[in-house]
Structure 1
Amino acid sequence: MTTVTLCLIVKDEEDCLKRCVDSVRDVVSEVVIVDTGSSDATPEIARGLADRYAEFPFRGDFSEARNEALGLASGDWVLFLDADEEMPAASADALPHLLAHTAPEVGGMTLLRYNFFRDAGFYTTPELKLHRRRPAVRYERAINESLWGSITGAGAEVVASGLALNHFGHCRSLVSREEKAARYLTAFETETARDPSDPFFPAFRALILRTLGRFEEARDLAERARGLAPDSALINLFYGHVIRALGHPERTLAAYQHALSLAPDDPALLNMTGVALVEAGRADEAAGFFTAVTRVDPTYIHARINLGLVAQSQERWSEAAELFAEALVANPAFGHYDWKGHVEIDPFRATHFETPFGYHGLGYHLAYARMRAHQQEA
């Protein structure tokens, strides 16, 4: 039987930790939790949840802390989550079968993480969260820590798992999000100074500055990153995100189309090209891109939401309602909503979303589409 260790490093996560562990409790063999200096009730909660618990002083190096947790794991595989993440039930249920039938050359797998905001908006990131436990597989880099190098360096492959993950870190208050953004900006600036040839750190800084409304600075950094890696589809995707925040629909579309030319089957690029087409007033063309996303990678559930938004824009209310309902069943977290997010003044939040501007959360769109469909039928 394939065994799985859930690993977490935590600090002041009393509100989230139990929900995270409970979301995968039935499909993991053991739970390892390392506390890095909590001042709330997290250590007490963690001791009650963990099979192995330790405390480790954080010294500014996230890889060091994560590797401490890896050293306590004993499973065949490691699922490394953050305390503010939860695995949807459908993905958790699919995990044992997936691991039991994974080819031996696969050393790690990404999950598509949905990063939710309080008002139910979201963006996605593929995250390497699942890997075979091997002594040589360890996290690298003090910040933006990663296993990619050690897994591929050992001759193993990293593949997409087809599983989803929900992340609620952006559901924290705006103040705490901006404080975290400031810390990351400082850390990424340090890393940029250490290796000016690495395009990812200016690209990440650009994305953070976008969240703060510092769009011109973000554009300059995104252009610098693109100059360092002109043929990187990912860097060009980030560039498109920044241009979109500047409010230039046609330039945004051109940026995403260029990135898509570098990776024609990339679901994130297909989706964002569709989003840019909607925002440029070309919804009919956008539908084909969203449909392509569902064919290339069904994990991108939000392509159905975007198809529903196209149908909504064309007053095909029953079709829109059906698509919205399918997405909600596939991942109930799309229905997440905190009224505080509705009244919170954050004018730049929507620049993150992988839906057209004007998205108000799936609950709103589903209810409205159903109401209008009923009116059409009456």
Structure 2
Amino acid sequence: MIVKNEEKNIERALSWGKGIVSEQIVVDTGSEDKTVEIAEAMGAKVYHFDWIDDFSAAKNYAIEKCTGNWIAFLDADEYFNSEDARKILEYIRITEDNGGEGIFSMLINLDDKGKIDSSASHIRIFKKLKNLRYKRRIHEELCYDDGHEIKVMDATKALTIWHTGYQTDVYREKKASKRNLNLILKEIEENPEQYEMYYYLGNEYCGADDFEKAEEAYTKYIDHLPDEITGTDATAANAFRYRLHCLLQQGKENETIIASYKDAIQRIKENADIPYAMGKIFFNAGFYSEAYQAFLEALDRLEKYGTINKSEIAMQNISTIYELLSEACLKVGDMKNAVKYSSSIISVNKYSAKGLVVLLRAFKGEGKNPVPVKDVINYLSKIYDFNDAKDISMIKAAAEAVGYEGMSEFLT
């Protein structure tokens, strides 16, 4: 790994590989804290590299110091959990037996609450080969110097790298320094044909709330994507999703936002995060029928294509999808489906206040012909225990919240 001022992370970064790796190479690029001291105390070989505004140069220097046949290259704020770490040697053996040169792992970015922010697949375990090195000053890419493809084994279902570098305090510090922005701009100036860098440029501008420049950067990246994009291309899916966010933040016309959404779902058929994001935009704007269709699209994609290296955000917010679906049904007067989706919520989590409230609102309807209380109680008895005081209190509170006459008296 290459490091600078990572005393908070270095111990964990050097712990996951104990008993698995034959050596640990730490290349320090100018730490002013106890990073080097801790790394040396933990038995790592520490080298020093004068920083030249080039992550690839530092990483390639680190590779040269390795004596093993295979390399695991993680950042200091990344780690494998112990269960996955124990699988690595076996996957290396399998890859070797099949003539492979690298292994795809899942990389998941965590936010402050430990929830998934985004994900992608990366080659972080690879064979030490003469011409296999990193390129680009930042957001570096592992590749051969002649451009031919690396033979890679896909282990994204088995191996996951956890990344904490997107947490607020760390991200704020990086953003304030503008280090990444300046390196990206320099890389684009030197290699304008590397259109993927515009995606990273968009992220920097978006993080700085410069949504107009961010939209322009995402559009430049998107314009150079193929017409049909595989569902496992998380970067492309994120670019479309972030562009929607930028359009919304700029107050662009509904037609512009919807056109961008249609372009996204036509070109990326498998990712559920995009319709989930658009469903929330529709819902917040009061377009409930459109929100309903977008959320159904998200659920359909989750069911058909799963979540391996895609759609983690939609999956993580599955309860929110059902909540908004049921509320959208209420808004358009579709009481039957409001009951259906709110019932799905409380069947999984009977203490979901929102799910129960929506269900009772659907049973109540417009208030003219509500479902009789005894029939509602009979329906709820399949989920709730009427000998449990907590369950009774939950139903009473929800009934009072929606003004369902006679419910509390009946329960009492």
In structure 1, C-alpha distance between the alignment counterparts of 2:198 and 2:309, rounded to whole Å: 31
* CA pair 50-62 structure 1, distance change in 2 beyond 3 A: farther
Q: Quote the Cα distance in structure 1 between the aligned partners of 2:113 and 2:94.
A: 38
Are residues 1:224 and 2:207 paired?
no
Quick one: distance in 2 between partners of 1:374 and 1:54?
64
CA spacing shift, 1:154–1:227, aligned 2, 3 Å: closer
Secondary structure, in 3 states, of the residue corresponding to 1:170? coil
Aligned residue in 2 for 1:124: 119
TM normalised by structure 2 equals 0.67
Of 109, 117, 141, which aligns to 2:103? 109
Unpaired runs of 5+ in structure 1?
A: 1-7, 323-370
Q: What is the CA-CA distance between 1:15 and the residue it aligns to?
A: 0.5
Matched residue count: 319
Distance 2:391 2:113 in 1: 22
- One of 307, 321, 330 as aligned partner of 2:318: 307
- 1:205 deviation in Å? 0.9
Alignment equivalent of 1:43, drawn from 11, 36, 40 = 36
**5 Å matches for 1:125-164?**
125-150=120-145, 153=148, 156-157=151-152, 159-162=154-157, 163-164=159-160
Alignment pair present for 1:197 and 2:178: no
Deviates more, 1:149-158 or 1:115-124: 149-158
AA aligned to 1:272 is I
The alpha-carbon deviation at position 168 of structure 1 amounts to: 0.9
Percent same amino acid at aligned positions?
A: 21
Compared CA separation, residues 311 and 232, structure 1 to 2 (3 A): closer
1:13 aligns with 2:6: yes
CA RMSD of aligned residues (A): 3.4
- Bigger shift: 200-209 or 90-99? 90-99
Contact 1:84 1:167 in 2 (8 A): yes
Match runs of 1:1-378 below 5 Å: 8-102=1-95, 104-121=98-115, 122-150=117-145, 153=148, 156-157=151-152, 159-162=154-157, 163-173=159-169, 175-180=172-177, 182-229=178-225, 231=227, 233=229, 234-235=235-236, 237-247=238-248, 255=260, 258-262=263-267, 264-265=269-270, 269-280=271-282, 281-282=291-292, 283-294=295-306, 297=308, 303-313=314-324, 314-315=341-342, 316-318=344-346, 320-321=348-349, 375=394
Q: Please report how far the alpha carbon of residue 67 of structure 1 lies from its aligned counterpart in structure 2 after TM superposition.
A: 1.2
* Residue segments in structure 2 that go unaligned for 5+ positions in a row: 230-234, 283-290, 325-340, 351-389, 397-410
CA contact (8 A) 1:115 1:123 kept: yes
Paired AA for residue 126 in structure 2 = H
| Paired amino acid for 1:226 | I
Relative to structure 1, the CA distance from residue 201 to residue 301 in structure 2 (aligned partners, 3 Å threshold; closer, same or farther) is closer
Distance in 2, Cα, partners of 1:228 & 1:92: 37
Give the stretch that moved more between structures: 255-264 or 281-290.
Answer: 255-264
Distance 1:165 1:308, change over 3 A: farther
Higher Cα radius of gyration: 2
C-alpha contact 1:200 1:235 (8 A) present in aligned 2:
no
Return the TM-score normalized by structure 1.
0.72
Deviation at 1:24, TM superposition (A): 3.2
Distance 1:194 1:30 in 2: 35
Alpha-carbon contact 2:78-2:162 (below 8 Å) kept: yes
Q: Aligned partner of 1:277: which letter? A: G
Distance change (3 Å), C-alpha of 1:167 and 1:184: same
**Partner SS, residue 61 of structure 2:** helix
